[in-house]
Each structure stands twice: as structure tokens, then as C-alpha cells.
Chains A and B, each alone.
Chain A
Amino acid sequence: QSVLTQPPSASGTPGQRVTISCSGSSSNIGINTVNWYQQLPGTAPKLLFYTNNQRPSGVPDRFSGSKSGTSASLAISGLQSEDEGDYYCAAWDESLNGLVFGGGTKLTVL
């Protein structure tokens, strides 16, 4: 059971917009920033967003991140087949004094 809750799966057709939610609590997302990671099949995770909605260079602007209260979300517009993979949210948890990940969402492009 992960501290941050994500839907296990999401899907869409090419060109569609999909969103992935991440629900936490007052000890993590409620008071700290959220980061998102993309893990494509057979590869190491890659930072997709830091500080809730900041894209590292090289991340397409089709991807967007947001945070409100104790939840965050990742949106992907103009879905492409190469977006297929696993997406994880993460935040520092003050109660655990450690980093917590969501359980991950497997994105399928139909």
C-alpha cells in the first residue's frame, strides 16, 4: 500500500488527452512539492516534473503538472505511442521523514 495513491492504469488513443491523479495527505503533498517520473519499458525512471509543475528541459509541453491541496495531477495532451509507460508521483513526507512514491500508473496508448 503506497502512501500516495494513483490509479493503476490509464489509457487513451493517439491525440487524446489523459490525466493521472495522485492523492496524498497533509504530511506530504499538503505541505511539500510534488515530482513526477516517467519510466518507459526497460529503462530507468526520468524526471518529468519538479516543484509541482516545472518541466526539465527536453520534456515536451504536451505534458503539464498541477497541485491543489493534498492532490496532484499529471496531464498529457496529444497522446503519442511513445508516451506508453509507467508514471509515478513522489513527495517528501514529514511524518515519515522520507520520500514517498505513488504506486504508479501504467499508461496504455490504444
Chain B
Amino acid sequence: EVQLVQSGAEVKKPGESLRISCKGSGYRFTNYWISWVRQMPGKGLEWMGRIDPSDSSINYNPSFQGHVTISTDKSISTAYLQWGSLKASDTAIYYCARHNVDIAMPGWGQGTLVTVSS
């Protein structure tokens, strides 16, 4: 069974750093892209960027580039989303999702709630 399991909820202060994770299982991790998707409270889905675990090539949504870093550790089948300096506006649920070859995302993690508040 294909699964993506994300790390748990986080509560941080503005300016702090954070890395959340997404561990894939039940499939060959390096065969499929992983994307990160943001959902702010009461709002829609926003694509943040994707990584190809086989070569670590990345596309970022320009709206997020420079503020977040996407990476993987293929030795442990895990993707990461990282912030160097959080803002209150980063408060959201973050989902990782696995792509098929046709860009569709049939597998999603359960989501990680990140709360940034002073």
C-alpha cells in the first residue's frame, strides 16, 4: 500500500526555523515526484513546489521561492519542507503528495499543521 506519512503538528514563533517531513512507503521513492501544497485556514490549495527524488531537481512556485526549501533524503524515502525564518502568515496545513507520471497526485500525506504565533 502506497503511504505518505507526515511529521506532527508544530507551534513556532515568528523568526524561528522549521523542517517538516514526509516519509513514503509501499513504492519506489525515487520513481515519482513529490510536491508540497499549502492550505491556509479556510482557503484553497496552493502548489509550493515539487522535487524529483531521483536527481533532486526542483521546481518552485515563484510565490514561495526564497522562503522555503524542498529537499529529499532518498536513503530514508523522505521529503522535507524547510523554513529559515517563519512568519505568522506561514500558519497553514502543509500536505505532501506523490505524483504519477501524468502529474496527477493520487497519494497525499495526512497534512502537517504549522502554527506560527508570538
Contact = CB atoms under 8 A, between A and B. Distances in A.
* A and B: interacting chains: yes
A2 B106 contact: no
Given A37-B45, A98-B59, A101-B47, A47 B110 contact: no
Contacts of B60: 98
Interface string B30-55: 00000101000000111101100000
A44 interface: yes
A35 B45 contact: no
Contacts, number: 63
Contacts of A37: 45, 105
Contacts of B95: 44-45
A11 interface: no
Nearest to A106: B44
A35 B44 contact: no
Contacts of B111: 44
A56 B44 contact: no
Interface size range of chain B in the complex: 20 to 34
Contacts of A102: 44
Contact of B47 (A44, A56, A86, A99): A99
B110 A104 contact: no
Contacts of A98: 47, 49-50, 59-62
B110 A44 contact: yes
Contacts of A97: 59
A50 B47 contact: no
Given A33-B104, A50-B102, A88-B44, 5 more contacts: A45-B97, A90-B47, A98-B62, A99-B50, A102-B44
